[in-house]
């Protein structure tokens, strides 16, 4: 499959809710989509396009918005594809990919913990690296590095 | 067992059950009633008769203060049992110190796997906020008297991760620490040095 074939088959299903399919070095392409169609898009990729494995989920803080991205691997075509969606900076959230690919579980917990993106429908969205009760999402650009002398971070007992 | 009980007259020297030559050389402090011996100066075979003598004395209170506590101090500081708990890269050096080359067991240091059997917590590595609870729980599970050593720069003050969001900047924010060992990582010799310093500290404090 080529990038333009992928773009054609996606736009035929989702029209303008696919915001673009870009070429990307080392990937089949980078698909930008609207967060509202997330679950349908995931199902299409798994069932119709053969992307059987979700390799990773991550998030980026662009200050004015946040981006969530997914890397998918196809065993049949032996290619990667990347999906990415822009979310608002205030209370960003998107549908969880766990019902489609169970391997998303830990990755989505990590993205919630560090970048603060909520995944609706996740079975167990707890923090994974930081203790429960930690007050920040530390990979946000608004997070201040603190000096140990004015240590504000306290660990509440569980 | 009261001090008012008339004390039977005792011989000025110790009974010589197992060591006939020893009674001249023993540094005996003559007090009325209890022959008090500097236990540090005793040889192993002289120790048992001295302990028997002191324990069978009617003045148990004096025996407790002058013999039993020093003996416990001496025994405790020469058989420190650290918790076998590795946190980060320093744990490699911790493990190496118990190997054949450095052989920390020479100093009576034997790592144990349960905090109930330990009296020394060697924090050997980076303590994250996530593991902070477990560290405190383990420390509180250890029976008194207990000591803690912060091994390496991470446990001492956060080390290279001092300003990181996930790392406790110094384990003394969580538990009381007796000895700090610098280094990233400290070599096993430094760890042994830290343990010997702790032994000296315990002796000075007389815990
Ligand atoms: S002090 Fe250095 S060697 Fe020890 S745990 Fe920290 S980073 Fe690792």
Q: What is the pLDDT of residue A153?
A: 47
A-chain CB neighbours of B132 within 8 Å are: 131, 155
Phi, psi of A140 (to 5 degrees): -75, 150
- More confident of the two residues B63 and A124: A124
Q: What is the pLDDT of residue A133?
A: 79
Contact B157 A130 (CB under 8 A): no
Q: Determine the average pLDDT of the residues in A48-61.
A: 93
Q: What is the pLDDT of residue B43?
A: 74
Strand partners, B148: B121
Single out the residue of A91, A93, A129 nearest to residue A113, CA to CA. A129
| Mean pLDDT computed over every residue of chain A | 87
Single out the residue of A145, A106, A144, A146 nearest to residue A126, CA to CA. A106
| Binding site membership of B126 for ligand 1 (Cβ less than 6 Å) | yes
Residue of B126, B127, B128, B129 to mutate, testing the A interface (most A Cβ within 10 Å of its Cβ)? B129
The domains of chain A are located at 3-150
Q: Does domain A3-150 have CATH number 3.30.460.80?
A: yes
**What CATH code would you report for B90-205?**
3.40.50.12280
Cβ burial of A142 (10 Å; 0-12, 13-18, 19+) is exposed
- Scan for tokens 């067992």, then name that residue: B1
Distance (Å) of CA B12 to CA B23, B29, B35, B51: 10, 10, 7, 15
Note the maximum CA span of chain A: 58
Q: Determine the average pLDDT of the residues in B157-173.
A: 86
């Amino acid at each position: 499959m080529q990038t333009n074939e992928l773009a054609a088959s996606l736009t035929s299903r989702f029209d303008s809710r696919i915001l673009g399919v870009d070429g990307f070095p080392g990937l089949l392409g980078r698909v930008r989509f609207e967060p509202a169609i997330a679950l349908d898009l995931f199902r299409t990729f798994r069932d119709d396009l053969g992307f059987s494995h979700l390799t990773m989920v991550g998030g980026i803080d662009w200050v004015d918005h946040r981006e969530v991205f997914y890397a998918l691997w196809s065993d049949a075509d032996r290619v990667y594809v990347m999906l990415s969606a822009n979310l608002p900076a205030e209370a960003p959230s998107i549908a969880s990919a766990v019902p489609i690919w169970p391997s998303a579980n830990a990755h989505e917990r990590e993205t919630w913990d560090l970048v603060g993106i909520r995944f609706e429908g996740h079975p167990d969205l707890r923090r994974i690296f930081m203790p429960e009760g930690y007050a920040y999402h530390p990979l946000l650009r608004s997070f201040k590095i603190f000096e140990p002398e004015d240590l504000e971070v306290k660990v509440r007992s569980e | 067992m009261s001090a008012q009980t008339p004390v039977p007259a005792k011989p000025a020297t110790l009974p010589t059950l197992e060591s006939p030559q020893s009674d001249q050389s023993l540094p005996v402090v003559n007090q009325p009633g209890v022959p008090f011996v500097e236990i540090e100066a005793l040889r192993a075979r002289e120790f048992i008769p001295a302990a028997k003598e002191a324990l069978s004395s009617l003045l148990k209170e004096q025996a407790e203060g002058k013999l039993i506590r020093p003996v416990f101090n001496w025994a405790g500081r020469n058989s420190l049992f650290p918790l076998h708990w590795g946190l980060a890269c320093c744990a490699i050096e911790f493990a190496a110190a118990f190997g054949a080359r450095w052989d920390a067991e020479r100093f009576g240091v034997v790592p144990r796997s349960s905090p109930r059997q330990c009296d020394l917590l060697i924090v050997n590595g980076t303590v994250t906020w996530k593991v902070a609870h477990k560290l405190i729980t383990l420390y509180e599970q250890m029976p008194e008297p207990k000591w803690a050593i912060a091994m390496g720069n991470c446990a001492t003050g956060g080390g290279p991760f001092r300003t990181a969001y996930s790392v406790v900047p110094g384990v003394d924010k969580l538990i009381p620490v007796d000895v700090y060992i610098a280094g990233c990582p400290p070599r096993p010799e430094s760890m042994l040095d830290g343990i010997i310093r702790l032994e000296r500290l315990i002796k000075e404090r007389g815990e």
